[in-house]
């Protein structure tokens, strides 16, 4: 059996609220195999985004182990963690987080500014990513000139431009109408099946979860089931 790309072991995450420590995740265990497309579901406040941030190296556990792509990221210092993120993880958010003054191409290039490569190579890789998401012809458009679905496609191109091992999507269809949401979900499915990307997607939407091959249910900081 191959080693999982994500292994979360006995993870506890607490936050301070005044003098009180509020525990959000309670000794949580989770494994995700390379090549999986998993949906993480649960009510608001269940800890879904907290778990996603721990797996993506945006936050650290209070205790426990988080191993992703063979690296114990809970042990990494801030600089090493930033380098690790730029090489291994692509993030997709509900509200796109595009820079309004930059074209689609320039937005997609942003993660590559952390890497040693020429401007020509950055442009070529950005155009390849835009072609994968079906927006090569919109490369010179600003975000305000794009539809919501097109903006999310640009955000997905930005997430894949560094060729990461893992895509982490936090409610990627939450701001879209049903038809556009289905198009984005089909694109994620293509990235999973045709391009081999491992995807973990937080969603409240059962229809969105049906596009994933596996659903993990989280409630009050505890995994109830993973089917």
Tokens 């608001």 locate to 44
Instruction: For 114-160, write each residue's pLDDT tens digit.
Output: 888 898 999 999 999 999 999 999 999 999 999 999 999 999 999 99
Instruction: Evaluate if residue 1 carries a pLDDT over 60.
Output: no
Task: List, in order, residues 6 or more apart from 6 with CB less than 8 Å away.
Answer: 30, 31, 32, 55, 67, 68, 166, 198, 200
Q: What is the model's pLDDT at position 37? A: 95
- Confidence category of residue 199, pLDDT binned at 50, 70, 90: very high
Task: List, in order, residues 6 or more apart from 132 with CB less than 8 Å away.
Answer: 157, 160, 191, 195
Closest CA to 169 of 35, 47, 39: 39
How far apart are the C-alpha atoms of 120 and 63, rounded to whole Å?
43
Contact (Cβ atoms closer than 8 angstroms) between residue 130 and residue 139: yes
Three-state secondary structure string covering 162-214: CCCCEEEEECCCCCCCHHHHHHHHHHHHHHHHCCCCEEEEECCCHHHHCCCCE
Between 42 and 2, the more confident residue is 42
Q: What percent of the chain has pLDDT over 70?
A: 98
Contact (Cβ atoms closer than 8 angstroms) between residue 129 and residue 157: yes
Q: What is the model's pLDDT at position 131? A: 95
Q: What is the model's pLDDT at position 225? A: 67
Average of per-residue pLDDT values in the chain: 91
Instruction: For 170-190, write each residue's pLDDT tens digit.
Output: 999 888 888 999 999 999 999
Instruction: For 19-60, write each residue's pLDDT tens digit.
Output: 888 889 999 999 999 999 999 998 888 889 999 999 999 999
Domains and CATH numbers, the chain: 35-60+77-226 (3.40.50.300)
């Amino acid at each position: 059996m191959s080693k999982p790309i994500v292994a979360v072991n006995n993870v506890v995450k607490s936050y301070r609220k005044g003098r009180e420590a509020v525990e959000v995740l309670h000794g949580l265990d989770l494994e995700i195999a390379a090549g999986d497309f998993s949906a993480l579901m649960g009510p608001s406040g269940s800890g879904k985004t907290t778990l996603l941030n721990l797996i993506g190296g945006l936050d650290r556990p209070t205790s426990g182990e988080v191993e992703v792509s063979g690296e114990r990221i809970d042990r990494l210092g801030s600089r090493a963690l930033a380098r690790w993120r730029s090489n291994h993880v692509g993030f997709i958010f509900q509200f796109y987080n595009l820079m309004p003054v930059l074209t689609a191409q320039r937005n997609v290039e942003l993660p590559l500014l952390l890497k040693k490569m020429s401007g020509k190579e950055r442009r070529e890789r950005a155009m390849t990513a835009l072609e994968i998401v079906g927006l090569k012809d919109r490369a010179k458009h600003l975000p305000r000139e794009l539809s919501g679905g097109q903006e999310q496609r640009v955000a997905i191109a930005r997430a894949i431009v560094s060729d990461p091992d893992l895509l982490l999507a936090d409610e990627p269809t939450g701001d879209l109408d049903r038809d556009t949401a289905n198009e984005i979900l089909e694109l994620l499915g293509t990235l999973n099946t045709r391009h081999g990307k491992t995807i973990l997607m937080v969603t409240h939407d059962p229809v969105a979860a049906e596009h994933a091959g596996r659903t993990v249910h989280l409630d009050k900081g505890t995994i109830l089931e993973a089917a």
